[in-house]
């Protein structure tokens, strides 16, 4: 072995270690865990997943509302139903700033981290906002890529092993894949941002199709957005540069010393790599089949299809149907109430004076925390009767802007709101 060939292997070896540590191990190890939690099959989670997640989570972003002792303790996080992210290295960070997320409670804005194999951070909260502007939930982005990520990462690891084992021109050229890795990520990321901005439903706030910023600061409705690379991206860049150097050194060494016939040792390492790789892929596949990843993906895709309104003949609903619908409404209302509670807990009181949770969660996003107006008009100064008349009129006309929230409010709620807002000018 000459010096070039040795150096080439050292560089490729370091790249493989970064790949294993930052991406392959956490991604393969954690595969299927979130699905199992969602399906209430916590007992199916293998025991090694707990220390794995805890280890990677240490020092990562955690919502300030999450109890300190739960932050890098997966068992606790599951117990208290906190939001759990994937443990692989986060590659890109996307965050929002808005009046209802005050700096004291959200020193990092509202951040979401994008990983090869999923998301972490305030995904749920971000989805609430996305819903407002008619955008699909974040999980929809990169849905195929994140599902395939563990397989692709294992394949990439095997490629490195083969590069390390053989002296072969063809294998050398395959190094173009790790070299392009950061750019592949960016391409996929940009595509999905475009997709999100161009597959809008009718939200509470109607916005024009747009592409969210890939890098830097931007604005969507009343929110300021920030998008920046984080540690995982620098790791990908390091893998890219190391691979490029390793490739170049190996080519140089092959020019000096044409490759000899591969030895038995080389073939043995290759076979061992192959067995290990195939074993890993099979276990990932088994997990995916067990948690039924495919049907989960198709459900998510169906639920985010942009609906085209259809007119159907109204038929008389049966008693059972009415009961089912009433129950569904009731469930929706309860869910909404829970969301409001969560929002309240998180956002604190950002306005000039205290407002009811009904106002804060339904009206404040558009009319401002104290009725000062933002997307919606200023409400301070209107009197109770004017307000109530307007609200009832909106409800009767199914006014577009307000339907998304009025759906959950009764006439009595509207009356209470009118009374409350009518008092804003006195506070
Ligand atoms: C999605 C954003 C949005 C939400 C949510 C929203 N509004 Fe509005 N609201 C608007 C906009 C925009 C207007 C101005 C409409 C216009 O001028 O036609 C408006 C107008 C109004 C008006 C009429 C003001 C006037 O000067 O005549 C009232 C009253 C009102 N909203 C009350 C509410 C209440 C109460 C809620 C919460 C239950 C609410 N809105 C939630 C966007 C919103």
Asked if residue 358 has its Cβ within 6 Å of ligand 1, the reply is no
- Average of per-residue pLDDT across 346-356: 61
Question: Hey, what are 173's tokens?
Answer: 């050229």
> What distance in angstroms lies between residue 338's CA and the mean position of ligand 1's atoms?
23
Task: Locate the ligand 1 atom nearest the alpha carbon of residue 358 and give its number.
Answer: 38
Question: Residue 329 to residues 83, 323, 326, 336, 407: CA-CA distances in angstroms?
Answer: 25, 10, 5, 10, 9
Convert the pLDDT of each residue in 368-422 to its tens digit: 888 887 777 889 888 899 899 989 888 888 777 787 778 778 888 899 999 999 8
> What distance in angstroms lies between residue 375's CA and the mean position of ligand 1's atoms?
9
Convert the pLDDT of each residue in 74-103 to its tens digit: 898 888 888 899 999 999 998 888 776 777
pLDDT at 4 over 70: yes
pLDDT at 286 over 90: yes
Interior CA angle at 350 toward 348 and 351, to 5°?
A: 135
Convert the pLDDT of each residue in 34-50 to its tens digit: 999 988 888 999 999 99
Band (pLDDT 50/70/90 cuts) for residue 349 is very low
Question: Hey, what are 412's tokens?
Answer: 């009595």
- Residue 1 is predicted with a pLDDT of 63
Span of 181-195, 219-233, 245-259 with lowest mean pLDDT:
219-233
Task: Locate the ligand 1 atom nearest the alpha carbon of residue 382 and give its number.
Answer: 26
> What distance in angstroms lies between residue 65's CA and the mean position of ligand 1's atoms?
31
Q: Which residue has the higher pLDDT, 302 or 228?
A: 228
pLDDT at 2 over 90: no
Q: Check if the beta carbon of residue 364 is closer than 8 Å to that of residue 164.
A: no
Q: Check if the beta carbon of residue 378 is closer than 8 Å to that of residue 364.
A: no
> What distance in angstroms lies between residue 426's CA and the mean position of ligand 1's atoms?
20
Task: Locate the ligand 1 atom nearest the alpha carbon of residue 401 and give its number.
Answer: 1
Ligand 1 mutation pick, 377, 388, 413, max ligand atoms within 8 A of CB:
377
pLDDT at 54 over 80: yes
Distance, CA of 120 to CA of 126 (rounded, Å): 11
Asked if residue 364 has its Cβ within 6 Å of ligand 1, the reply is no
- Average of per-residue pLDDT across 210-236: 84
Ligand 1 mutation pick, 367, 374, 385, 387, max ligand atoms within 8 A of CB:
367
> What distance in angstroms lies between residue 417's CA and the mean position of ligand 1's atoms?
12
Task: Locate the ligand 1 atom nearest the alpha carbon of residue 365 and give its number.
Answer: 5
């Amino acid at each position: 072995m000459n010096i070039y060939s040795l150096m080439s292997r050292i560089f490729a070896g370091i790249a493989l270690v970064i790949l294993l540590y930052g991406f392959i191990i956490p991604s393969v190890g954690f595969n299927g865990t979130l699905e199992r939690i969602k399906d209430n099959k916590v007992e199916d989670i293998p025991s090694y997943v707990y220390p794995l997640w805890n280890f990677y989570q240490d020092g990562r972003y955690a919502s300030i509302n999450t109890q300190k002792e739960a932050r890098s303790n997966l068992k606790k996080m599951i117990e208290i139903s906190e939001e759990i992210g994937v443990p692989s290295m986060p590659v890109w960070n996307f965050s929002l700033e808005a009046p209802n997320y005050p700096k004291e409670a959200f020193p990092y804005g509202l951040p979401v981290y994008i990983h090869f194999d999923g998301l972490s951070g305030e995904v749920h909260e971000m989805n609430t906002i996305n819903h407002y502007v008619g955008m699909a939930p974040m999980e929809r982005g990169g849905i195929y890529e994140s599902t395939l990520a563990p397989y692709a990462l294992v394949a990439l690891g095997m490629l490195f092993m083969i590069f390390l084992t053989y002296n072969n021109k063809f294998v050398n050229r395959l190094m173009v894949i790790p070299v392009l890795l950061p750019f592949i990520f960016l391409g996929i990321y940009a595509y999905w941002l475009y997709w999100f901005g161009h597959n809008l439903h009718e939200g509470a706030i109607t916005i024009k199709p747009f592409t969210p910023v890939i890098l830097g600061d931007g604005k969507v409705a009343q929110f300021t957005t920030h998008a920046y690379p984080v540690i995982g991206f620098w790791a990908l860049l390091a893998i890219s540069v190391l691979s490029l150097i390793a490739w170049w050194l190996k080519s140089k060494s092959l020019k000096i010393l044409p490759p000899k016939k591969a030895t038995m040792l080389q073939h043995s390492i290759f076979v061992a790599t192959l067995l290990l790789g195939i074993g890993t892929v099979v276990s990932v596949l088994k997990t995916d089949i067990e948690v039924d990843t495919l049907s989960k993906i198709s459900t998510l895709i169906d639920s985010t299809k942009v609906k085209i309104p259809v007119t159907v003949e109204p038929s008389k609903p049966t008693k059972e149907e009415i009961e089912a619908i009433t129950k569904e409404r009731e469930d929706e209302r309860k869910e909404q109430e829970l969301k409001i509670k969560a929002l309240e807990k998180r956002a604190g009181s950002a306005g000039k004076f205290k407002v009811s949770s009904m106002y804060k969660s339904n009206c404040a996003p558009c009319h401002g925390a104290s009725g000062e107006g933002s997307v919606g008009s200023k409400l301070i100064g209107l009197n109770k009767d004017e307000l109530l008349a307007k609200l009832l009129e909106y409800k009767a006309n199914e006014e577009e802007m307000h339907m998304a929230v009025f759906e959950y409010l009764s006439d009595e709620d509207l009356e209470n709101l009118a009374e409350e807002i009518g008092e804003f000018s006195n506070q």
